[in-house]
Structure 1
Amino acid sequence: MIMIKRIAEEIAALNSFLITTHESPDGDAVGSSLALARYLTCLGKDVTVYLCDPVPDVYQFLPMAERVVQELPDRSFDACFVLDVGEFRRAGKAITDCRTIGKFINIDHHLNCEDFGEINYVDTTACATGALVYRIIEAAGHEMDYDIALCIYTAVITDTGSFRYSNANPEAFAIAAKMVEKGINAWDVAEKLYESQPQNRLQLLAMALATLSFSPFGDYASIAVTLDMYQKCNANAELTDGFVNYPRSIKGVEVAIFFREIRDGLFKVGFRSKGKVDVSALAAAFSGGGHHNAAGCTIEGSLPVVKEKVFTLLEKFLRK
């Protein structure tokens, strides 16, 4: 509660706020950012939401999504809320190099999150960063309107994998229940998130699943997406969200790996674990990071070379 009190004091004392989150924003990043933006706007504050990457189409239904900017305004801000980044660099150079921000307030639930802010509200037991934003608004006694509720609910449902992941703790269900009480229709949100896929996403998924491979013992599996696949079905990286869950869903697979080509000779590698392997440690070995069950990193090389690097180290983790 000490950190929440300090944040409340900053909100009361200051007027202009910048809100940002990590590159390639997911549902928690977008939902928590927009929930906080809506709250501050209701208080009459001057609020700007900046993301280094655009809001993915799947989250465009969220209130205030249309107000998100991709170019940092040439002005000063009293404070900047940095949400869900884990590592400060993931907010993008425009933020890390900015000299017109009074102070940084870091709100996060990632393991080993960097303490880069003047205030660091980090709780690794929280189901989502959206849950921390919820606590801040709830502690202030502010009546959450439908717009805030929709953003918070989306943050929680996406980061808990629709309440399937190990972070789906009692607080996650309690927050979801309270948001439903505010008028959130669970099916309506689920339809927007999971039942409205563009055709080219399924075409890209088909190509990715064709690359499915398994370890000799069947305890890890991987898929890949390359630049030429994007070109063939007129798709982009945004449409690959959730692809890694397909190999993870296979019986006997403990770790799923998703290799996504960013540019020629560079791959983003996503890891998902069912619990036996701490993939945050695996990602850290390649200068990445994340959670025990979900992490990622970037590795240079051709796809065969990158795969060999990852599989060799993963074998050591699994055969301890």
Structure 2
Amino acid sequence: MTTERMQAVIADIAAEIDGHSTFLITSHEGPDPDAVGSTLALANHLVALGKDVTVYLCDSVPENCSFLPMADQVLHELPDRDFEVCFVLDIGEFRRAGKAITGSKRISRFVNVDHHLGCEDFGVHNLIDSTACATAALIYRIIRARGDEISFATALCIYTAILSDTGSFHYSNSNPESFAIAGEMIALGVKPWDVSEALYESDPREKITLLAQALSDLTISPSGEYASLTVTQEMYRQTGGNAELTDGFINFARRIRGVEVALIFRELKEGEFKVGFRSKGKVDVSAISAAFGGGGHRNAAGCVVKGSLAEVKALVFDRLEKSR
């Protein structure tokens, strides 16, 4: 999308905000901090504009995002009412919003805002920029293009989303815009340590015991270039943990010297695994994920693969070897 086209789409989205009163905002299943942060940033801003706003997520808000303003107002059942506009954020694929959204007859129009490469054009307006560090950065652009002020609540959500999606400014998407927006949010009162503590320094005991079990299954390829962790349903039962608590586990495999691609195999149910990929840059994991029907970015992607753990590992590692 050219700069001129992007500016035109942002102007169209600004007009949608001016021209309507009832808004639904949603994001993808298994929401991460960018999904939650961008959703709540827009929600807080629209509320400040006097709009009627409902926030819906098909899955629960992660515990480490519960401190964000309006997190306690997120619904997990779609109200039986009409909405003029539904903002769908950070989605990648429309189906990931859940059947309540994709099958709804009560939504007049969809606006799609995303930074995933290859995101579907399903909205009346589709603001998609894969160079954006996070979807929250696109929400920031919309607000600034309207000439609106940014409240502390909105700033906190934007900063949190960008901090998380850039890996605390470690990842390659840590571009000049990410630092500029973060700096502006800090100037508006956001305290970096408070956000970091909430995101990374407040883990429940169950997460650490689950991590210990996942690390016990650490597998490193003969070449030393790939490493994986596994989380099974049995591990959840033994530790009292859940899928939400596995956020960040993959980074323990990624930080091993010589490893170019880290993976996590997370059992969804018997015979089905969610596979997460993280690359240090040499390998395009979005292409590998796409081969299994998934998607994502060059350095971060995911897919679902069916089979036993041994079969799934063999399929995925074979695809990695062929990508070299």
TM range (shorter): over 0.9
> What displacement does 1:297 show?
0.3
1:31-180 matched pairs, under 5 angstroms: 31-180=37-186
Corresponding residue for residue 198 of structure 1: 204
Task: Tell me the SS of whatever aligns to 2:142.
Answer: helix
Cα distance between partner residues in 2 of 1:110 and 1:261: 24
Cα distance between partner residues in 1 of 2:147 and 2:128: 21
Corresponding residue for residue 25 of structure 1: 31
Cα distance between partner residues in 2 of 1:54 and 1:16: 23
1:225-264 matched pairs, under 5 angstroms: 225-264=231-270
Cα distance between partner residues in 2 of 1:40 and 1:191: 27
Structure-2-length-normalised TM-score: 0.97
Q: Quick one: which of 294, 297, 307 aligns to 2:300?
A: 294
Task: Tell me the SS of whatever aligns to 1:304.
Answer: helix
Corresponding residue for residue 278 of structure 1: 284
Does residue 268 (structure 1) correspond to residue 285 (structure 2)? The answer is: no
Cα distance between partner residues in 2 of 1:94 and 1:279: 30
Which letter does structure 2 place at the counterpart of 1:156? I
Task: Tell me the SS of whatever aligns to 2:230.
Answer: strand
Cα distance between partner residues in 2 of 1:119 and 1:182: 30
Task: Tell me the SS of whatever aligns to 1:90.
Answer: helix
> What displacement does 1:143 show?
1.2
Task: Tell me the SS of whatever aligns to 1:281.
Answer: helix
Cα distance between partner residues in 1 of 2:223 and 2:122: 42
Task: Tell me the SS of whatever aligns to 1:269.
Answer: strand
Cα distance between partner residues in 2 of 1:9 and 1:187: 36
> What displacement does 1:233 show?
0.6
Cα distance between partner residues in 1 of 2:292 and 2:104: 27
Identity among equivalent pairs (%): 62
> What displacement does 1:217 show?
0.7
Cα distance between partner residues in 2 of 1:305 and 1:143: 53
Task: Tell me the SS of whatever aligns to 1:192.
Answer: helix
Structure-1-length-normalised TM-score: 0.99
Cα distance between partner residues in 2 of 1:282 and 1:118: 30
Structure 1: runs of 5 or more not aligned: none
Cα distance between partner residues in 2 of 1:267 and 1:71: 26
> What displacement does 1:141 show?
1.4
> What displacement does 1:145 show?
1.1
Corresponding residue for residue 219 of structure 2: 213
> What displacement does 1:140 show?
1.2
Task: Tell me the SS of whatever aligns to 2:323.
Answer: helix
Q: Quick one: which of 309, 315, 324 aligns to 1:309?
A: 315
CA offsets per residue over residues 197-240 of structure 1, 9 Å max, x none? 11110000000001001111100010100000000010100000
Runs of 4+ in 1 over 3 A off after TM superposition: none
Which letter does structure 2 place at the counterpart of 1:109? H
